[in-house]
Structure formats: structure tokens, C-alpha cells
Chains A and B, each alone.
Chain A
């Protein structure tokens, strides 16, 4: 059973702080890793994708991938109240016909 696990929330950080979201996955044979943001009542929105070990930065977001540890994280710098949402980690495993396997999500609240 291929699984994706995220650190339990909810997570609250003050405005301007760094929010750190973590995710582990169960199978080494994995291809692509994604972070989606989902506001209440809305569908997921892709914010970061990462495919190789290391860091990938996009604005205030940094994704980190460590395939040896089967770990992927998302850092949000200078957190804003508008970042308050549920963050979903998703993995595409090899041979899965591009199916996304989602974690349970971490609810982030950025306090003004």
C-alpha cells in the first residue's frame, strides 16, 4: 500500500514567520512530488512541484526533496494571512498511470 503522510495539524504561525510543512512517502519508486493548496470550499491549486533531490524555490515557497529519506517539505517564508489554507502533499508513483496519491493535508493558519 503506497501511502503519503503529512505532519499532523493544525499548524498556526504568526504573520511574517516561516511555516514548515512536512510529508513522507512510503515507496522509493516515485516520480513526482507536488504541493497543493486548498482553501475551504475550493478545489486544490498547485503551488509547487519537485522531481529531484534538493531545494526548489519559487517566490516565498521552497520545496525540499530527500529521496533517500523519502521526505518532502514545503517552507513558506514571510507567511501571510492569505496563506491560511490546507496544504496537500501529493506523490505520483511509478506505474500508477499518473495517479496522485494525496496525504491527509495540514491545515495552516497564519495569525495577523
Chain B
């Protein structure tokens, strides 16, 4: 299979602190990973594309200095929400395509991280 994990699954923090979310591909290598954010009753919004060995590509309107992405290895990407504020409270989900599958466009999602900023 193609399994993607995320850690932590849930985090509550105070306003102004930074939070790091890890996304790991457990049984395949991922040169590319995607980070999404989802607010209640809305669809997934792509935030950025994480590229192993190079800088992340951010979608329009996403602050790269606030949402730091590091693709440290072929199995790990991290998203750090810096100086978090209540409006950053959301469900953060990562995904990765698996080159080993028939369709490299097919993406496998992590279980998500619920961030609550007080």
C-alpha cells in the first residue's frame, strides 16, 4: 500500500507560539508532498507543494514566512506554523503521490492535524 502519516493528530497552542506538523510517507519515497488546509464545511485548499531538495512552492495568498515548509528527506516534510493566531485554527492535511502506483497523479492523504490556537 501507500501509507502517509501525520504527527501530531491534534494540537492546541497559545497565540504567538509556533507549531510543527510532520508528514511522513511510510512505505514509499515522496519527492513531492502537498499541504492543504481545510476550514469547517469547506473543501481542501492547497497551500503549498513541498519539494525534496528545493524550496517549496506556495499558492497565491499563502504567506511563506508564516507557513514554513521543509522537505528534509524523501519520506518527511514538515509544516511549521509560526506565530500562530486563532485564525490559523484549521485542519491541516498532507498528501503525497506514489511513483510506484500506476498513476503517479494518484495521491495518498495523511490523517490530518487539527490545530486549535487559543
Contacts and interface: CB of A to CB of B under 8 A. Distances in A.
Contact of B49 (A32, A45, A99): A99
A43 B46 contact: no
Contacts of A34: 106
B107 interface: yes
A43 B107 contact: no
A15 to B, nearest CB: 25
A11 to B, nearest CB: 15
B108 to A, nearest CB: 7
Interface stretch (B14-22, B73-81, B109-117): B109-117
A100 B107 contact: yes
Contact of A42 (B103, B106, B111): B111
Interface residues of A, number: 22
A88 B46 CA distance: 14
Contacts of B112: 42-43
A44 B108 CA distance: 9
B47 to A, nearest CB: 11
Contacts of A22: none
Contacts of B108: 46
Contact of B109 (A31, A44, A49): A44
A102 interface: yes
Given A99-B34, A102-B44, A104-B43, A32 B111 contact: no
Interface of A: 31-32, 34, 36, 41-46, 49, 51, 88, 92, 97-100, 102-105
11 contacts: A32-B106, A36-B109, A41-B114, A44-B109, A46-B107, A51-B103, A88-B43, A97-B49, A98-B97, A98-B105, A104-B42
